Amino acid sequence: MAFSLAGAAVLSVTVFIIAAVGYALGRITIKGVSLGTAGVFIVALLFGAFFPNYVSDALKVKIGEEAVTYGSQALKIVENLGLVFFVTAVGFIAGPNFFKNFKKNYKSYVLLGVIIILVGGLSCLGCYYVGRGFEGDNAEFVAMLVGLLSGSLTSTPAFSAAKDTVQPVYENAVSVGHGIAYLFGVIGVVLFVQLIPKLTKADMEEERRKITIVDTGAKKKYEGKLVSMDKFGFMPFAVAVVLGILVGSVKFFNFFSLTTTGGTLIVALILGHFGRIGKLNITPDKKTLEVFRELGLMLFLVGAGVAGGISFVKYFKAVYFVYGIVMTILPMIVGFLFAKYVLKLSLLNNLGSITGGMTSTPALGTLINVSGTDDVASAYAATYPVALIAVVLVSQLIITVFS
């Protein structure tokens, strides 16, 4: 077995070239709106579309006379590593204020998460009734639509659950749908959280005051006396990742799990909330968390973008793309209006909850930059687990009833 180290080097260089060009694209601002870090996703998507065999050709293992490629697995590793970095960092950052914020607004967060996913599910069913007369295989069409739903909500857990629920012959349809809808699923929410403050002419300084929660936690009393295992806090970060992966792998009722994303988020929230064990500091340095958050988001967007670009071009149909847009826009708009006029949430709490309800990791990164405060992560973290569970259940229900 001979593995090309040159191929691994090519992959590494490719990741950072995409990142460099993507950040440059993200800086382009039109009327105050920019793609930000999502520019990395666009460049990665275009790379996958125009060079679909590049990574697979670079990463090959020769077994006997047969060459086996590990390109897709390598991209998945890049994506998952980025997701772990980002979500764990967000959990630590949100932890000190999360439980106070959740206690204050928990009914709103739970209700909003459910509303967003229900509207997404109803949108999916609406597309089913509109298009079923034009599709031959009903079960395949349902699998495609559920894939579109998971892509429009950028939900990996829903994607995995849908693939596990459909018959094996329809798994590719789920994958194709997810890949087609993922593009607008990312960009749509990223643009939404930038446009809404401008359209509502929000005073961002005032909005930040509304969402800011003063941390009066116990850690403050021990400042200067806590013992850290290392200067940057890599040790507690690593512990949170390991524990989070273990928690995320636990299956509830033999079919549902929090996945790595949910597990690492919850563990980091808890560790970030307590901040210490005795005099042992279990919170990484803030600068470390900010670097991990941005690095993780970049890696996640590169891995997901390249893979999505390959599927997008290969299986693209205009009508499926339209279905995906509908499944992204309707839940987002209904959720925002419901949070604003019924739940009376402040703008940043509202938008933070929308990014969590839409399970949109890239949009949270954008919202943090737009708002100028990390406190929006608390609303994301509060709504995300509810939406994660709901979208998995809705996806499985649609497949079971309509296939």
Which has the closest alpha carbon to 192: 166, 232, 154?
154
CA distances from 273 to 26, 93, 239 (A): 33, 9, 15
The overall average pLDDT reported for the chain is: 81
CA distances from 147 to 50, 212, 311 (A): 23, 37, 12
* Token pair recorded at residue 120: 């997404």
Give tens-digit pLDDT for 319-350: 888 999 999 999 999 999 999 999 998 899 99
Residue 87's pLDDT is what?
A: 83
- Whether the pLDDT of residue 363 is over 90: the answer is no
Q: How would residue 107 be classed by pLDDT, with cut points 50, 70 and 90?
A: confident
Least reliable range by pLDDT among 55-59, 99-103, 105-109 = 55-59
Which has the closest alpha carbon to 287: 92, 127, 142, 129?
92
Give tens-digit pLDDT for 9-60: 777 888 899 999 999 988 887 776 677 777 888 888 888 888 877 766 666 5
pTM of the predicted model over 0.85: no
Give tens-digit pLDDT for 207-221: 888 876 554 444 455
